[in-house]
Amino acid sequence: VKQFNALDYSLQKRYRPANETFISDRFIDNTFISVQGGIFNLAAWGDTKYGFGPSATLGMGKWINEYNAMRISLSWKNFARKRDIAEFNLAGIGVNHLFNISSYLGGYRRSRFFELSTVEGLMYTCSIMDGDVRHALGLNLGLNLNMRLSNAVDLYLEPAVTVHTDGIDHSGAMNWHHYDLEYGLAVGLSVNIDSGPRKVSPPRNRDPHTYMAFFVGPQIQNSELVVKELGIFNSIGPHFGITAGSWINDYFALQASGFYSSDKWIRDIDGQLKDSRYIGLRVEGRFDPLMMIPGWKEKSGFSIPLLFGPEAGYMHKDDRSMKIDKGYLGLTAAAQLRYK
């Protein structure tokens, strides 16, 4: 009988796929430029609450080795206090370190479609509201979920939390904490400057590659004012538009949508419900997780695509005494149930 002693293998290292060759002969190798937009908020302290505000960030970075990268970025954010609608802007510069968990655990592969990295760093922030200027230092932590779309372009999601030293919210004594907490989610595109030869995997084999669709359905508004005065289901209105997109591989596509929608958002003095109308454009990633299961495409026509991405639009609201016209930026997310 052949004997097996597990102690003979106790000091063996975990199996890990071998790294591909990491090429870094020139400074420009493994460098990238990133552009991202998102929505962020500040934690509410006491009676001081804030609305989600838009953000924009421009960054440049470099992968130092298979697992580690450094990125420097310039950012802008806008917030508004709910109690008095006072707006303030945050301008910042930050330095981040990215640690590629996927490469560390699964081996370095330039062709990997999905990659997960941690993001940690320091930043300086200048907050301005009506001439009142505050300065703060911050520590930020986050995750970077990267999807390699082509040799040169990556799409990524980046949720993040930042702890600032006190003062960026201009709340004074109403905020007795000695720090401010910021949180949010960004969607970005990263352009790889050295887009040398590499194949994006897995290969694209979905047929057809491009598609177009029309959509129509109901829309409701979920806001404090609607919940208080109308009830969510009394705000219902139409939503319709057109979508065009292209599959990158079996389970991921990029699409753009134009839409028009409306709902009810306030009740007039005479009891009449007032309209809120929107027109805009969405750019979304479309991820179909079931298609990652081997054989699912051939065995079943059922799928659950998940949609996410930025949205820009223009809204018109009929108020009780005036009309409100304003552009907006935001993030959108959705899920579809499909059967073919």
pLDDT at residue number 252? 87
User: Which one, of 265, 276, 261, 253, lies nearest residue 311 by Cα?
Assistant: 261
pLDDT at residue number 302? 86
State phi, psi for 177 to the nearest 5 degrees.
-70, 150
User: Which one, of 3, 140, 174, lies nearest residue 59 by Cα?
Assistant: 140
What share of the chain in percent tops pLDDT 70? 89
Q: Are 25 and 166 in contact (CB under 8 A)?
A: no
pLDDT at residue number 75? 96
5, two tokens: 């002693």
- Measured CA to CA, the distance from residue 263 to residue 55 in angstroms comes to 26
- Measured CA to CA, the distance from residue 79 to residue 92 in angstroms comes to 14
Number of Cβ atoms within 10 Å of the Cβ of 156: 20
**Within the chain, which residues score under 70 in pLDDT?**
1-16, 46-47, 172-176, 195-208, 320
Interval 295-325: pLDDT, tens? 887 777 888 899 988 899 999 988 767 788 8
- Measured CA to CA, the distance from residue 269 to residue 201 in angstroms comes to 60
CA 131 to chain centre: 31
Interval 166-181: pLDDT, tens? 778 777 666 667 788 9
Query: What stretches of 193-251 adopt beta strand conformation (E)?
Result: 210-219, 237-247
Q: Are 336 and 305 in contact (CB under 8 A)?
A: yes
**How many Å from the N-terminal Cα to the C-terminal Cα in the chain?**
55
Q: Are 56 and 45 in contact (CB under 8 A)?
A: no
